[in-house]
Amino acid sequence: MRVEDVVDDWVASPPYLYFKLKEVVEDPESSFKDIGAVILHDPALCARILKISNSPLFNPESQVETIEHALTFIGMNQLEELVLGTAVMEGFKGIPVDVIDINSFWKHSIACALTARLIAERIHEPDIDRFYLLGILHDIGSLVIYKKAPKAAKEALQLSEENSKCLYEVETQVHGFNHAEAGAALFQAWKLPERLVEVVACHHAPTQAKKYSRDASIIHLADVISHELDLQGTGEGFSSPIDEKILLDVGLTPQDVSYLKEQLKEQFEQTAEVFLSAS
């Protein structure tokens, strides 16, 4: 099995709304009304944006009731990221329940996203919100594999658990590639930003990243930390321990990790509910 064959079903179906929104946002003559008009084509997305806009993530001073109002403080970059994340979530429904609990999968992704943003804030990274999208989408290749090859995916999950080996290592043995490579191949085919492609490709091996190794390291640490807490109960088998060298390279201490875990516990349930509750 080749990674190109696995992602092929989705290559021809990129997140249309994301690209349309990006086109309008990049038009200097576009207004909030024009941008809102694009979003209004997807009622479920509208509902999600309004719900998130009124959540503790943004903590607005008054109730946000329209998309145009939401746009005044969400910001265009965050809006694009929110639309992309939502579009991808919608595009991968229908994973066989005997392979993975999809809610647990997304809960892990949300935990990773929250942790990545907390890390970025802790080490004073600029534009910390970009790490949220990287965290949400870091494991998208797993969904590609679960949908395309559920039987082999179950085998990999079982082998990971039985042999105390990281899932991505076992996947290479079972499939010939791992979920990081599958996710990167899909995003590259969709012509998504280079940063997203490389971080997804290297989130288990951040030292292999050529251009965005720091971002890949942050997502790697966020992934490991959220797995250690297991707030979501993913059942994804064995997870690697924190790499002390990567921790040091990023500028964190074990004490910082303890602090981040406490912060994550406080934020996780409410954030997961906002993202996963019915629109």
Encoded tokens for 55: 């959540």
Q: What is the pLDDT of residues 122-147, one digit of tens each?
A: 999 988 888 998 999 999 999 999 98
pLDDT of residue 195: 96
Q: What is the pLDDT of residues 56-86, one digit of tens each?
A: 777 778 888 888 888 887 778 778 888 888 8
Mean pLDDT of 20-29: 90
State the pLDDT confidence band at 233, using cuts at 50, 70 and 90.
Answer: low
pLDDT of residue 212: 97
pLDDT of residue 262: 94
pLDDT of residue 257: 95
pLDDT of residue 279: 41
Single pTM value for the model:
0.87
Is the Cβ–Cβ distance between 227 and 108 less than 8 Å?
yes
> Residue 166 pairs with which residues in a beta bridge?
238
Is the Cβ–Cβ distance between 1 and 175 less than 8 Å?
yes
Cα–Cα distance, 179 to 201 (Å, whole number): 8
What proportions of the chain, in percent to the nearest 5, are helix, strand and coil? 70, 0, 30
Q: What is the pLDDT of residues 145-178, one digit of tens each?
A: 998 899 999 999 999 888 888 899 999 999 999 9
pLDDT of residue 278: 42
Backbone angles phi, psi at 197, to 5 degrees: -60, -50
pLDDT of residue 24: 92
More confident residue, 53 or 220: 220
| Closest by CA position to 267, among listed 47, 100, 113, 75 | 113
Is the Cβ–Cβ distance between 71 and 50 less than 8 Å?
no
| Closest by CA position to 109, among listed 259, 227, 202 | 227
Other residues' Cβ atoms within 10 Å of the Cβ of residue 93: 9
Q: What is the pLDDT of residues 251-261, one digit of tens each?
A: 999 999 999 99
Q: What is the pLDDT of residues 197-227, one digit of tens each?
A: 999 999 999 999 999 999 999 999 999 999 8
State the pLDDT confidence band at 91, using cuts at 50, 70 and 90.
Answer: confident
Q: Which domains does the chain have, with CATH numbers?
A: 3-276 (1.10.3210.10)
Average pLDDT, the chain: 87
Is the Cβ–Cβ distance between 149 and 174 less than 8 Å?
no
Distances (CA, A) of 244 to 132, 221, 248: 23, 10, 6
